[in-house]
């Protein structure tokens, strides 16, 4: 299993860049930046990684060509586990085999309902949300 280690540039709540390598954090799903809690998830991951040498154990490549990796802080904490414990990412059993489900705070799947919908294949929920966001932006532009 290849390992990349270095400072991390955080892209969003479940992806980062280490030494020019795009990395998808293993086994979890955080909200997109334009979804509820998306920016909060990103900044929580920034806070965890700031000033740290993040170690990424690469497992595979995803459909977007990013490395999927288990990511650890120097003190041994697993970034996937930490984001789930904070209630800003969900365990994604399709990929994690449920490794992080026990760390999910009660009610987090209702809070992160769009991520939960994606995991269940209900992408129409995303389309409806995005359409409402676009309509609000157009109304505000008037």
* Mean pLDDT of all residues in 28-45: 93
Give the list of residues 6+ apart from residue 92 with CB closer than 8 angstroms, or none.
27, 28, 29, 119
* Mean pLDDT of all residues in 61-77: 91
3-state secondary structure of 41: helix
Where residue 119 falls among pLDDT bands split at 50, 70, 90?
Answer: confident
Residue 71 β-bridge partners? 56
Q: Which domain holds residue 18?
A: 3-141
E-strand spans in the chain?
3-6, 8-12, 15-18, 21-25, 28-29, 54-61, 67-72, 90-91
pLDDT at 126 over 70: no
Q: What's 46's domain CATH number?
A: 2.40.50.90
- Per annotation, catalytic residue among 5, 22, 24, 132: 24
Q: What is the pLDDT of residues 74-88, one digit of tens each?
A: 999 999 999 999 999
pLDDT at 122 over 80: no
Q: How many domains does the chain divide into?
A: 1
The label of the residue with tokens 């170690």 reads: 55
Mark whether 5 is an active-site residue.
Answer: no
Mark whether 132 is an active-site residue.
Answer: no
- Per annotation, catalytic residue among 32, 55, 81, 118: 32
* Mean pLDDT of all residues in 57-86: 93
Mark whether 66 is an active-site residue.
Answer: yes
- Per annotation, catalytic residue among 5, 55, 60, 66: 66
């Amino acid at each position: 299993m290849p390992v990349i280690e270095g400072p991390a540039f955080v892209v969003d709540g479940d992806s980062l860049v280490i030494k020019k390598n795009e990395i998808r954090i293993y086994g979890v799903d955080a909200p997109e930046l334009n979804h509820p809690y998306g920016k909060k998830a990103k900044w929580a991951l920034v806070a965890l990684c700031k000033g740290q040498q993040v170690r990424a154990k690469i497992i595979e490549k995803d459909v977007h060509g990013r490395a999927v990796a288990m990511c650890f802080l120097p003190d041994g904490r697993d970034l996937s586990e930490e984001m789930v414990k904070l209630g800003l990412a969900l365990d994604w059993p399709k990929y994690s085999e449920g490794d992080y489900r026990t760390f999910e705070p009660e009610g987090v799947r209702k809070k992160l309902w769009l991520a939960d919908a994606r995991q269940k294949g209900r992408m129409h929920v995303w389309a409806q949300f995005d359409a409402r966001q676009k309509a609000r932006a157009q109304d505000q532009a008037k």
